[in-house]
Structure 1
Amino acid sequence: MLPALASSLTLLTVCASVHSQEVSHSPHRVQLTARKASHDSPLRRRALSAANIPLNDFYKGTDLQWYGNISVGTPGQTISVVFDTGSSTLEFPSTACGDSCRNQHKFDTAKSSTFVDTGYTTTLTFATGVGVDPVQGDNYQLQLRSGHDTVTVGGLVAKKTDLYVITDQTETFAIDPFDGIQGMSATAQGFFAGLINQGLPSVFGLYLTPNAIGNAELTIGGIDTTKFTGSVSYASLPSDSGDTWQLSSPQISVNGKTTSTLKRTRTIIFDSGTSNVLFPTSTAEAIYALISPDIQPFDDEPGTYGIACSKIQSLPAVIDLTFTSSSGKVFNLTIPSSELSVGPFASDSSTCQTLINAYDGYDLVGGSVLKHYYSIWDIGNQRMGFASNRH
């Protein structure tokens, strides 16, 4: 999810219920210090420890979105949220939301002794929706009212956290198995800012996994070394990144080949609230041209592409996104061929939708990349890190 306008967010979420699996490695949380403090400073005396939050996976033939529980209010009410690196705010349904919120848990502000209604109302219009298809028009919209309350994540407590309660939403949100969105942007805001002010390192780690693997988790205030192997490749955010998690990429290649369109420097956004890949039309079509001429735009859903389902399983479609580490070493993040198909189109079950959507104005990757790597999101040092997932 990304802020498209001052009053709107982009949401592309995909989720599946995950079957918990036990792993042989016991959790080992490593706190990464994003700032230094003397041994006698108040910061060091009150430092918080990292916490792990289990994540579920919303799955509908493909991995759509990972989400976990937080607690809001006093006493706490459990709310499930997408931890979204593409947005910055916290929003979830309240009891003021009627039938349109029937499938989500509704927060009762009257039952929280610490809730404060700050009275600001706004509308958020989303440019993409929960799933893998581009959104047309205003069919993903939230009506919000501002407030603040105590928010607890993984046992870590942040008081007076700014938030929005949903008072109405379009019917398209009814499919969501989660309640709301917790923004995890590249500048700490909301509950994370509150925890950092209490001494928690401004770092988090994401272990997103395919549905068949399960055991996904978010680590707040550090990383979980049992979830990855080998060394971590770190790359710095561009100086003008602001709230956006993004890295400069000099090249995209497909099955080891590239073209003039793909071999140019671009800034790629990393959005854990997105399932598909979004590239400008020229980039999407250059990638597909290196996979198969049979991949064509699907007219029923503008921005999508498809191919006969009978052909897609045999197509080689290894996509390498190239980056340069902080030490000057080139590394690739690879999307394997298994990600190419996201399932049949509803209007034509013989045609399978392909991974990349055309979306002019964005170069953006989401869960289809992140679930193949352990990702480290380091706000204090304005960098991202990637290592091989331990499955």
Structure 2
Amino acid sequence: MGIISIIFLLIGSSTAAVLEHQLIWKESRMIEMIRNGEYPAYLEYRDRMVASRSSNLATVVQSTTDYVYYEYMGNITVGTPDQNFIVVLDTGSANLLIPGTNCTTYCEKKRLFNEKASSTYIATNRPWQIKYASGDAYGTLGIDTVKIGGSGEAQLAIPRSYLGVADTVGSDFKWSPKEGIFGLAFTALAVDNITPPIINAINQGLLDQPLFTTWFGQRGAPGTSASGAFTYGGLDKNHCGPVIGYAELTNARHFQFQATGFSLGSYVSTTTYEVITDTATSFLCGPQAAIDNLAKAAGATWDPTNQVFNIPCDADAGPIKMKIGQFNYVIRANNYILKIDTNSCLFAAIPQNYAGFGPSWILGGPFMRQYCNVHDIGQKRVGFCLSLA
């Protein structure tokens, strides 16, 4: 599943580490469904689920999230001895969720966490619930040792970490290769205000620096794989250039900051937006008017059936430009055009309606393939480095 390298640095009486965690890539379920003609039915199902959702549980609920867009996953283990899971590594959420032995619906063929088989598991009997576009997930909170990296690989062990043991998961688990979600955002975003594992690792002094760096390699032709790595505790000097600049976070729940000057070709916007980067989103997501104008400038046309923009595979209207802090950044055509089969391509931007709440833009895969992101939790900022591969 990939090679993980780890460097241990002895600091005083504690051991801090830098861990390079190789990722597992799989084409997003959204692209698969569009290619197979299944996406319109999914959109209808998703909208029905969102419209009909109700809950009687008195727990904090996150905003609706749709996990059909992710492409990168990683191996983790939970418990003693290790129980292995493959999870979505998500900077847009803050909870660790894995299915437990009580999960039967949509958990077929998944590895399930057996809390009774872990000598380090601590039950809390606290319920939790998270709403997703594909349905609600809920269960009980537990505490156990979580390790980044699978069995047989070098690992970063994070003792006494909270995890959500799910009795029920969303329907997307049925057709998805993921067996859980590993949230990497701040405690303020976490359901029930629990401490996320990555924050727990920092609080325990387990990382050399209180940050992690993400690198997404270039997408290949349909049917081929892509590379990626998360480096916990330091910069990724193997795949990323020097830091160009940092953006101070405007809201330390997500990795949220301000960007301005979105432009492509003749279209130029002077609006300053609140934006986030998101490792679980393979598209750019933004306000309807802005996305429509970018798509028009790129030469893309709206597909009302699949609710995406189609674009000629050989199109190149130049780079999408934006300004973050004092520095200018670009997303080139090879990163904003997604090939779904031999003759079909998508403009990798979709409109999102935030109704005045939360960030206006999500800078997903196209931006994160162009630039490595340094998630500096300690100083509450995000840095950007040109991807070298």
TM range (shorter): 0.7 to 0.9
Of structures 1 and 2, the one scoring higher in RCO (CA 8 A, sep 6+) is 1
Distance 1:109 1:28 in 2: 28
2:14 to 40, 43, 46: 46
Identity among equivalent positions (%) equals 22
Partner secondary structure for residue 218 of structure 2: coil
Query: Residue type matched to 1:92 in 2?
Result: I
2:267 aligned partner, one-letter code: T
* Deviation of 1:187 (Å): 5.3
In 1, distance between residues paired with 2:21 and 2:229? 5
**Cα gap change, 1:99/1:324 in structure 2, threshold over 3 Å: closer, same or farther?**
closer
CA gap 1:187/1:143 in 2 versus in 1, 3 angstroms: closer
The C-alpha deviation readout for 1:115-152, integer Å capped at 9, x for no partner, is 1221222332224xxxxxxxxxxx33322321111111
**1:140 and 1:58, CA in 2 relative to 1: closer, same or farther beyond 3 A?**
farther
Number of aligned residue pairs: give it.
329
Matched, 1:58 2:68: no
Deviant stretches of 4+, over 6 Å: 26-31
Aligned mate of 2:267, from 247, 252, 258: 258
Structure 1 counterpart of 2:65: none
Cα separation, 1, equivalents of 2:200 and 2:335: 40
CA contact (8 A) 1:186 1:382 kept: no
Residues 204 and 219, structure 1, Cα contact 8 Å, conserved in 2: yes
- What is the distance in 2 between the residues matched to 1:164 and 1:338? 35
Q: Deviations over 1:138-197 (max 9, x none)?
A: x33322321111111242222221110121223332222121111111459422222212
CA contact (8 A) 2:252 2:380 kept: no
User: Could you give the per-residue CA deviations for residues 192-242 of structure 1, whole angstroms, max 9, x where no partner exists?
Assistant: 22221232221111121134474421111112211123x21122324x412
The alignment's C-alpha RMSD in Å is 3.0
Distance in 1 (CA, whole Å) between partners of 2:323 and 2:5 is 30
Distance 2:385 2:8 in 1: 15
Change (3 A) 1:113 1:237: same
- Aligned partner letter, 2:259: S
2:118 aligns with 112
Select which of 54, 78, 81 maps to 2:84. 78
Task: State the TM-score, normalizing by the size of structure 1.
Answer: 0.75
CA contact (8 A) 2:91 2:280 kept: yes
- Please name the residue that 1:206 is paired with: 214
**What stretches of structure 1 of length at least 5 have no aligned partner?**
1-17, 32-41, 128-138
The alignment partner of 1:142 has SS state of strand
Residue of structure 2 in register with 1:289 after alignment: 296
Residue 358 of structure 1 and its aligned partner are, at CA, apart by: 1.2
- Asked if the contact 1:30–1:224 (Cα under 8 Å) also holds between the matched residues in 2, the reply is no
Question: 1:224-263, aligned counterparts within 5 Å?
Answer: 224-229=236-241, 231-238=242-249, 240-255=250-265, 257-259=266-268, 262-263=269-270
Q: Which residue of 1 aligns with 2:63?
A: none
| Corresponding residue for residue 165 of structure 2 | 165
Counterpart for residue 152 of structure 1: 147
Q: CA deviation at 1:331?
A: 2.1
Change (3 A) 1:89 1:338: closer
- Structure-2 separation of matches of 1:186 and 1:122: 17
Which amino acid in structure 1 is aligned with residue 305 of structure 2? D
From 187, 193, 209, the counterpart of 2:199: 193
Gaps of 5+ in 2: 33-68, 150-154, 189-194, 355-359
Q: Partners in 2 of 1:47 and 1:338 — Cα distance?
A: 39
- Deviation of 1:87 after TM superposition, in Å, equals 0.6
- Look up the equivalent residue of 2:349 and give its one-letter code: I
Give the Cα separation in 2 of the matches to 1:27 and 1:77: 21
- The TM-score normalised by the length of structure 2 is 0.76
1:1-391 → structure 2 map (5 Å cutoff):
44-59=12-27, 64-127=70-133, 139-154=134-149, 155-186=155-186, 189-199=195-205, 200=207, 201-212=209-220, 214-229=226-241, 231-238=242-249, 240-255=250-265, 257-259=266-268, 262-292=269-299, 295-296=301-302, 298-301=303-306, 304-307=307-310, 312-325=312-325, 328=326, 330-341=327-338, 343=340, 353-361=346-354, 362-391=360-389
Equivalents in 2 of 1:30, 1:206: separation in Å? 20
C-alpha distance in 2 between matches for 1:171 and 1:355: 25
Q: Distance in 1 between matches of 2:295 and 2:219?
A: 26
The structure where helix makes up a greater share of residues is: 2
